Amino acid sequence: MTLVYMAFFLTALLLSSGLAVDSGRAYIVKAQLSKAVDGAALGAARMLNGGNPKGEATRIFNANFPPGYFGTSSVTNPTSDPNFFKLQTITATGVNVVTVTATAKLPTTFMRLANLDDVTVKSSSEATRRMVDLSLVLDVSSSIGWRWPAVRDAARTFVNAFDASSDRISLITFGNGASVIDAMPSSRGFNKSRVVSDIPTNLPGGSTAMVEGLYRGWDELRTVPAGTQSGLRVIVLFTDGASNSVPGNYPAQAGVARGLRTYDFPKNLPDPDGQTWNNPQINGLYDTQTGATSSPAYNVTVANWNDATTAPGVPWLPLTSWHTHHRSAGIPTSFPLQLASLKVNGASQTSRRGLRNWNTAAGRFPADVFNINNAARNLVEIIADAARNDTGDYKIRIYTLGMGELVRYNLGTMPEKPEDILMRMANDSRSQDFNSNQLEGKYYYAKTEADVGPAFEALQNQIVRLSK
CA angle in degrees (0–180, nearest 5) for 401-405-406: 80
Domain boundaries, the chain: 2-130, 132-467
What separation in angstroms does the CA of 291 have from each of 156, 208, 247, 329, 333? Answer: 24, 11, 11, 24, 18
Question: What type of residue is 41?
Answer: A
What's the CA angle centered on 237, arms 249 and 416, to 5 degrees?
75
Average pLDDT (345-363) is 97
Query: Do the beta carbons of residue 413 and residue 353 sit within 8 Å?
Result: yes
Summarised one tens digit per residue, pLDDT across range 249-263 is 999 888 889 999 999
φ/ψ of residue 82, rounded to 5 = -65, -15
Confidence label for 378 from pLDDT (cuts 50, 70 and 90): very high
> pLDDT (tens digit, 9 = 90+) per residue, 403-438?
999 999 999 999 999 999 999 999 999 999 999 999
pTM of the model: 0.81
CB atoms within 10 A of CB 35: 15
Per residue in 164-200, pLDDT (tens digit) is 988 999 999 999 999 999 999 999 899 999 999 999 9
Question: Is the pLDDT at 91 greater than 70, yes or no?
Answer: no
CATH architecture assignment, domain 132-467: 3-Layer(aba) Sandwich (3.40)
Which residues make beta-bridge pairs with 178?
Answer: 174
Task: Quick: pLDDT tens for 194-232.
Answer: 999 999 999 999 999 999 999 999 999 999 999 889 889
